[in-house]
Chains A and B, each alone.
Chain A
Amino acid sequence: MTTQDFIQIILFFAVLIGLTPILGNFMFKVFTGSKHLMSPLFGWLEKLTYKFSGIDPDEETNWKSYTFNMLTFNFIGFIFVFFIQLFQAQLPLNPANLPNVSWHSAFNTAVSFMTNTNWQGYSGETTLSYFVQMIGLTVQNFVSAATGIAVLLALIRGLARKTTNKLGNFWTDLTRSTLYVLLPLSILFAVVLVGQGVVQNFKTYDTAQTLQGVSQVIPMGPAASQIAIKQLGTNGGGFFNANSAHPFENPTPFSNFLEMLALLLIPAALTFTYGKMVGSTRQGWTIFKAMLILLVIGLTISLYAEYSTNPIFGNLHLMEGKETRFGITNSVLWATATSAASNGSVNAMHDSLSPLAGMVAMINLMLGEIIFGGVGAGLYGMVIFIIVTVFIAGLMVGRTPEYLGKKIQKFEVQMAIIAVLAPNVVILLFAAWASVCSPGLTSLNNSGPHGLSEILYAYASAAGNNGSAFAGLNANTVFYNLTIGIGMLIGRFGIILPVMAIAGSMAKKNITPTSAGTFQTDNWLFIGLLIAVILIVGGLTHFPALSLGPIVEHLLMNNGITF
């Protein structure tokens, strides 16, 4: 690595850390209904939305109604995206005359975008019309991220309030996060991206003569607007199949830097919002630090693996699957960030990463997408781990465990365990199934341990609602479309439902005042504990499988054996 690489990495984290309190504080104002920067600009639109849909923005509901509204909204979104794919040939804005999508691919894609996963079993430019991309997918890019924020807000209110059953209004939270946070940021970002050369048009595909004399189809489309929100909303679903490795999605080093930053920006800033809303920014920074440390540990291992020599390539770095425009450091930084943030957009092919770097990405998914994670989702997932940590270690101070003054009792433990179990059930059961059945195995492009890694990665990506893939797997089959689709549903709602139940039960509790006898959850000791519990509980679950995939592949590679 050169000094320039280090400077880039440091600059990246410095900007991220610097923007966290700024955006975090802005979101705090938005979500608590105070006056803010955007209210003169979009305030009328918010009021109009409520008037139009007959919502009283101040009417708060209990956790069950909140959850019911959220589920209804998501279900309608799913149905809509599902059907417009089935009938896209009959619908407008289809200049490439793409045919209707198969039912299983449509199911998979609809679930994928509704759950903020953006797993793409299909290839964007050869499957979906502009209409589906814009009206179906881009809309879900916004509202799935907004749903994540809404769930998080309900959880925060459950923690911050006492002896109440009111958790806020789902529609208000949805409207505000879309209108004031996601929309303005994406507009701003899309404009900057267009400035960098990202395409944004409704043209038919161009055809060019290459130097070899063959003709090449050059896809076009409204890319910049979708790219902005796919990064900011931790969606990750590319406009083009090559995602941000495609020069029309990510043309310059500067656009690359911004896109990397954008994918961590909101999840990082939400930790600050969280701290503000629970009444202690220290609590927010504690979570931020724990996430950052886990991210940096992963990044370090990945960079080490990518830059170290091996008997097959010697000193040559593994450039297969990477853009020469970005080089190793930027590809690895992106890979780490995108897998940590439940984004899933890529600027290099994860399938071609060195085994250990691929494993780091996989672990980021398997831990439950809590290292910054999806917008809203990463943080509420992290709170689940905090509850588990507090429960295990909190007893050691001689009190029944409490977090932010709320006692953690039977119900919360039950729900937290369900939330921890849900994604693991998906990863282990489906991956095990796929690795022994022929519909699972015939999709593999690689043999040996790498094939197992591809399967593991696919289901980890589904369960973590990440959406990135080890590209070696042909996942557009009935088997994978259905199992991954179900996996995404369990990975999303298997966590959301227990989180909402916890929010409801926490809201009812009183807050025990802090004293010297309180188990502190805002110091370095707690950060260390939290990281240890995440690694032990999350890691131990997957260690056997990982040792048969990337670990053994790494060891074999060091012995000079490939498959």
Chain B
Amino acid sequence: MSAKQNISLFNSKLAIQAIKDSFVKLNPALLIKNPVIFIVAIGSLLTTIIVFTGIFNGEFSVFNLNIAIWLWFTVLFANFSEAIAEGRGKAQADSLRKNRTQTIARKLAGKLEVLVNATELKKGDVVICEAGDVIPSDGEVIEGIASVDESAITGESAPVIRESGGDRSAVTGGTKVISDKIFICITSEPGNTFIDRMIALVEGAKRQKTPNEIALSILISGLTIVFLLAVATLPAFFSYSLTASGLPQSENLTLPVLIALLVCLIPTTIGGLLSAIGISGMDRLLQRNVIATSGRAIEAAGDVDVLLLDKTGTITLGNRMATNFIPVEGVTVEELASAAQLSSLSDETPEGRSIVVLAKEKFNIRGRAVNQLNAKFIPFTAQSKMSGVDFKSSDNRVHQIRKGSSEAIRSFIHNNNGFYTQETHDIVSDLARQGATPLVVAEDNRVLGVVHLKDIVKGGIKQRFAELRKMGIKTVMITGDNHLTAAAIAAEAGVDDFMAEATPEDKLRRIREEQAKGHLVGMIGDGTNDAPALAQADIGIAMNTGTQAAREAGNMVDLDSNPTKLIEVVEVGKQLLMTRGALTTFSIANDVAKYFAIVPAIALSLYAGKNGIGPLSALNIMKLGSPQSAILSAVIFNALIIVLLIPLALKGVRYKPVSANVALSSNLLIYGFGGIIAPFIGIKLIDILINM
């Protein structure tokens, strides 16, 4: 069961629920959260009252009824867009929630074990989980080691190891222990786990408006006030004009017409779709298996212009591979390969295995039966910085083969009274310059040669970075490697900058420096020592496999623990902001056509000659059938456009990694210019239909 689920845009079950919710959302307490739509609702209510009083007074007006109906539709369509977005979020959330059935937790009270409901667990409680138990809540392993099935949240079926201490101590509620026994200290209050928070965010229940969304609603509310003023003062100007044309004041504009004009002018399109855009942004993030702890984080993701990327896992494949054997003079390649392979036979590190494989592939040297050689393997330790093998040769002499970093081997040779040659030194620095990791192989007191270990840069990553550069995002590679190696890999991968021999403190400092220069920084990390940097970064994505500390520090958690995700998160953020901008522009651009529909219609009789057609009919450039059909067409168009744009609001505008200028020109052409043209066509068509 995974969050990664594609929910078709309008499946019927969701749609029916959303239709129901659209009516529930007519509750004024909910409507007032959206000022633009609230005004439309008040207008609808007033028009409806006028229709009914008209019926009682025997002056039933079909026109007013039509206006009232379509105004209500406008409100309902806006509600529907929000409801459908919430429904889709809920569907995603339900799939997350399903695996969190009421678990019984084994809580430790002193030395006793008591059974309690998972929902009663508080922060700091300690629980025991054994094979077969579902972990009751988010927590940290404080004792023991266990394999855990996290497929419930990640969709990945292979179990992962969770153990106390180190960077793999965090466990997530709802996952299942497969083997062994662990003690878990609960780290979140009930109802406030990561998944709880995400569910709340996508369901919209606790959704708070994000900063940019608030700013945008202020803008559209401001425009609403401007247009409210323009419409509210119109009867006065009309009254003057009626007198000047010799017409009675009774011909002044009626309230339904004024309301229709107002609703057409205020930005109902973006007002109606604004929250749907926000919710679906969260939803798109969840579809990529990223949980955000706040909506604010997605917006910030769009703004990020510096990405700190760990070399390993993001830029290169996790492991270095042996790609070549370089013997020193007097040693054949086969000798070197053989010795290197021998020393690696019991080496379970990926590097060691890649040496065995390379020797076999290149020189057909097969692995030998280890016990025949009376060999003793010396594992890698942090102190010795080398590994190898001691074995007795046929003459019963003990030979020592070692492989390790150049410094380690140099002291090994010296200790054996050997001589570390200039030639070796040259080979090593040559390889380092190419960005490779040299692994020196020695036997007893002489160097045999060097194994060329290479970082394999991920396919397509260079292209990805080029795209990021076009979007104005700087990439910085972080690595513990030395400067030379780092520079070479940076060049190969095409990153803009790199930090070699970086410690977690360096990362934190770098983030602060970039921020002081005005940049917004995004990073992804997993270890406890990443936590300060994750907290400092504007976007800190913690890997789900990381520690609880890291997950608490970041503002997003990547359930797939895929470091490349950072780039996708940035794209989701940008797409969200673009969608908002595009629909705002479209909404405002629409007004031009609506004016040309409504103004000539309402002012038809002013200063008219004998035929009753006033000079302002010249503004009726769409040649709409009648004044009433013109007003109605504009209102209908205004309502329908909300429905038509719901898919766009939910999916987001088409996103391509291009520069700001290119993105702006193409979006302007579609939503700005298109926004001026589309309503002219739409209103004309509706008018034709009405007059048929």
Residues on A close to B: CB < 8 A? 162, 388, 391-400, 405, 408-410, 412-414, 417-418, 420-421, 424-425, 428-429, 431-433, 435-436, 441, 447-449, 451-452, 510-513, 515-520, 523, 525, 529, 532, 536-537, 540-545, 547-549, 551-552, 555-556, 558-559, 561, 563
Contact = CB atoms under 8 A, between A and B. Distances in A.
Contact of A536 (B472, B580, B588): B588
A419 to B, nearest CB: 10
A400 B244 contact: no
B606 A537 contact: no
Contact of B660 (A397, A420, A428, A552): A397
B303 A400 contact: yes
B607 A452 contact: no
Contacts of A529: 668
Contacts of A552: 241, 603, 606-607, 614-616
Contact of A393 (B215, B265, B585, B619): B585
A517 B472 contact: yes
Contact of A410 (B214, B470, B473): B214
Interface string B232-247: 1110111111001000
B299 interface: yes
A425 B609 CA distance: 34
Nearest to A405: B518
Interface stretch (B11-19, B53-61, B218-226): B218-226
Given A396-B578, A435-B240, A436-B239, A516 B219 contact: no
Interface of B: 211-212, 214-216, 218-219, 221-223, 225-227, 229-234, 236-241, 244, 265, 299, 302-303, 305, 469-474, 515-520, 573-575, 577-578, 580-582, 584-585, 588-589, 591-592, 595, 599, 603, 606-607, 609, 614-616, 618-619, 655, 659-661, 663-665, 667-668, 671-672
B226 A424 contact: yes
Contacts of A425: 229
Given A395-B578, A398-B663, A510-B518, A409 B211 contact: yes
A173 B661 CA distance: 37
B671 A408 contact: no
B303 A399 contact: yes
A335 to B, nearest CB: 24
A400 B299 contact: yes
B513 to A, nearest CB: 12
B607 A561 contact: yes
Contact of A545 (B237, B303, B516, B667): B237
A162 to B, nearest CB: 7
Given A417-B222, A420-B222, A452 B241 contact: yes
B114 to A, nearest CB: 49
Contact of B474 (A410, A436, A515, A556): A515
Most chain B beta-carbon neighbours within 10 Å: one of A405, A544, A552: A544
A471 B665 CA distance: 45
A398 B575 contact: yes
A412 B214 CA distance: 12
Contacts of B234: 544-545
A513 B239 contact: no
Contacts of A393: 581, 585, 664, 668, 672
A3 to B, nearest CB: 34
Most chain B beta-carbon neighbours within 10 Å: one of A428, A433, A517, A536: A517
B582 A391 contact: no
Nearest to A425: B229
Most chain B beta-carbon neighbours within 10 Å: one of A392, A512, A525: A392
A138 to B, nearest CB: 37
Contact of A448 (B212, B225, B244): B244
Contact of B574 (A391, A399, A412): A399
B663 A543 contact: no
A429 B395 CA distance: 110
Given A397-B663, A400-B303, A555-B615, 19 more contacts: A391-B216, A396-B664, A398-B655, A414-B222, A424-B230, A432-B232, A435-B239, A436-B236, A516-B469, A516-B659, A536-B591, A540-B595, A547-B619, A548-B241, A548-B603, A548-B606, A552-B241, A556-B615, A559-B615
A549 B616 CA distance: 11
Contacts of B473: 515, 517
Given A392-B219, A540-B595, A400 B230 contact: no
B128 to A, nearest CB: 47
B518 A396 contact: no
A447 B242 CA distance: 12
A119 to B, nearest CB: 21
Most chain A beta-carbon neighbours within 10 Å: one of B231, B661, B665, B671: B661
Contacts of B474: 515
Contacts of B239: 435-436
A400 B240 contact: no
A400 B577 contact: yes
Contacts of A447: 244
28 contacts: A391-B216, A396-B578, A396-B663, A396-B664, A397-B578, A398-B471, A398-B574, A399-B302, A400-B303, A400-B577, A420-B222, A420-B226, A421-B229, A431-B233, A432-B232, A432-B233, A447-B244, A451-B244, A515-B305, A515-B473, A516-B470, A517-B660, A525-B661, A543-B230, A544-B230, A549-B237, A552-B603, A558-B615
Contact of B618 (A397, A418, A511, A555): A555
B237 A544 contact: yes
A433 B619 CA distance: 26
B595 A543 contact: yes
A268 to B, nearest CB: 28
A392 B615 contact: no
A536 B592 contact: yes
Contacts of A523: 661
A395 B577 contact: yes
A480 B574 CA distance: 52
A127 B244 CA distance: 34
Contacts of B659: 516-517
B581 A396 contact: yes
Contacts of A556: 607, 615
Contact of B227 (A412, A441, A513, A541): A541
Nearest to B653: A396
B218 A410 contact: yes
Contacts of B232: 428, 432
B517 A413 contact: no
B607 A392 contact: no
A542 B302 contact: no
A547 B223 CA distance: 20
A97 B578 CA distance: 68
Contacts of B672: 393, 532
A516 B215 CA distance: 24
A563 B244 contact: yes
A542 B231 CA distance: 10
B660 A392 contact: no
B220 to A, nearest CB: 10
Contacts of B599: 543-544, 547
Contacts of A520: 660-661, 664
A545 B233 contact: yes
A529 B671 CA distance: 13
A398 B219 contact: no
B575 A555 contact: no
Contact of A519 (B299, B603, B655, B664): B664
A516 B660 contact: yes
A429 B219 contact: no
Nearest to B242: A548
B226 A516 contact: no
A393 B518 CA distance: 22
B230 A428 contact: yes
Given A396-B664, A424-B226, A162 B518 contact: yes
A517 B240 contact: no
A425 B212 CA distance: 27
Given A392-B581, A435-B237, A449-B241, A421 B519 contact: no
A452 B591 contact: no
Nearest to A418: B222
